Amino acid sequence: MAVSQINVAIIGASGYTGADAVRLLAAHPRARIGALTGNAHAGRELAEIYPQFANINVPALARAEDVDWTGIDAAICGLPHSTAQDVIAQIPAHVRIIDMSADFRLRDANVYSEWYGRAHDAPALLADAVYGLTEHYRAQIASARLVACPGCYPTAALTLLLPLVQAGLIETDDLIIDAKSGVTGAGRSLKEQNLFSEVAEAMHAYSVGAHRHAPEIEQEVSLAAGRSVMVNFTPHLVPMNRGEYLSVYAKSANGAKAQDMRACLQAHYADAPFVRVAREGLVPATRHVRGSNLCELAAFDDRLPGRVILFSALDNLVKGSSGQAVQNLNVMFGFDETEGLQQQPLYP
C-alpha cells in the first residue's frame, strides 16, 4: 500500500545529479526533502552553491555522517563510485536507498574489482541490490531496499536493445554502440579536460575499449540473450551540457527489418510513460528529450543488407540519472510512476 508522504535525504546534493534530484523532488507532491549532504560544503545553504534554488525551502547541507535518519524514509545517493558504498553501508536499515553510483550495478564483486580498481567493501548489500532499469525490473524494484540506478550510457543502450534481444530480432555477436554524452556526465569536480576551451567546438572519444559502462551493458544483454555477450562500445564527449545519444549498428536476425523492431519496441513499451518510439522516419535528437525523463528510440534499415541502425536519446542527468532515481522512488513507495516527472522537454 502506498504511503501518502515520504521524507527523502539526498546524499551528495552539491553534485550535478544530486542537484537535479533536488530540482525534481521540489515539484514532487508526495516527497519532502528532509536532509541534504555535501561534505565539502557542510553548513552552507544549497542556494549558495546553486542560486537557482533560492526560492525553495530545503535544509542546509550537512556531512553525511551527521544526518539524523529518524523520520527519513528514503535516500537518493549521488556520490561517486567507491565513496558511495562506504556511506550507504552506514545508513540505517529502515531507510530505502536509490544509488546513482556504479557501486551496486555489477552483480559480481570480482567484475567490480576488475573495472573499478578496488575490492567491494559491502558484498552483502551488493547481493541484495536490484538493478534499477525501471521498465525492465519494476516488480523487483517495488520491494527492494537498495536499488542501483544504471549508468546513463547503459540506460540508453539497454532500453533500446533488451526488447530486441529478447525477441530474437538482432544478433548479439556484432553490436557496435557509438555513444555520445554531454559534459555533465563527467561530474562537477574540476578537471582540465572539461574546461570550456578543451571541450568547446570539439568532440573526442575517451576510455576507448575500456569504459566502465561496457561490462554493465554486457551483464544485462547477456541475461537477455541467455549467453555471454560482448559489445563494441565507444563513448564520446560532445560540447553540450546535457544529453546522451547512441547510434547502434547491428545485424538483423531471422530476416527482421526496422519496421519489425519498431513494432517490437512499441509493444514492449506500450505502458511505459517515459519511453517512446519516434514516429516513422524521424531520427531522435537530444533536443527532443532535454530536461525530461523521456528516452526516445528509433530503428532504420541500413543500406548494407541484413543490418539495421538503431538510435536512443535521453537527458543524461534526468532519465540517465536523477529522473530514473525518482521514477524508482515512486515505484518503491507505490506512487504513480510519473509523480514529479511530468515536465516536458525543454526546447530549444
Max Cα-Cα span within the chain: 61
Inter-residue contact 86 to 121 (CB < 8 Å): yes
Tell me if residue 152 is catalytic.
yes
Which of the following is catalytic: 77, 149, 152, 295?
152
Q: Which residues are catalytic?
A: 152
